[in-house]
Amino acid sequence: MGILSNIFRKIFPSSHPAAAQAKPPATPGSMQSQPTQTAQQTTPQAAPRAAAPPAAPMEMVDVEAILNKMAQSAGEPLNWRTSIVDLLKLLNLDSSLQSRKELAQELDYKGDTGDSAAMNIWLHRQVMNRLAANGGKVPADLRD
């Protein structure tokens, strides 16, 4: 399970689609295989498939409100708005350099992971962008 998935699980409620995506995928053995049809088995007058029902609009989650509430009870001042380290600490996740390098790899960081300051700024922005893209209401100044 990736670090970004852990971040999603800590912020989004379990009923939210982003949190559901953060769950580990089913193992291939746990999925039942469906028999396949050959071209000879299909009839030219096959019944058309019914259209899928329209997807319900994604519930927006106020990320800023959730993180501010967590910060109030953190017991130490944590600046989650600008620091990826403080954001990870606030979520009770590993904020070590190694963990941040793993997150950078997960998010396809192309820069030098030896330049932790530049990497940290990029990571914070990317996490905020991903939260916003997955139904999080994130202040505009924290994302691209």
In the prediction, which pLDDT does 53 show? 54
Q: Both tokens of residue 38?
A: 């050959």
What domain count does the chain have? 1
Q: Both tokens of residue 97?
A: 């350099």
* 25 domain residue, yes or no: no
Is 50 exceeded by the pLDDT of residue 64?
Answer: yes
pTM: 0.73
CB atoms within 10 A of CB 29: 6
In the prediction, which pLDDT does 107 show? 97
In the prediction, which pLDDT does 142 show? 95
127: containing domain: 8-18+58-139
pLDDT range class, residue 20, cuts 50, 70, 90 = low
CB atoms within 10 A of CB 102: 15
Contact 132, 138 (CB under 8 A): yes
* 38 domain residue, yes or no: no
Contact 70, 87 (CB under 8 A): no
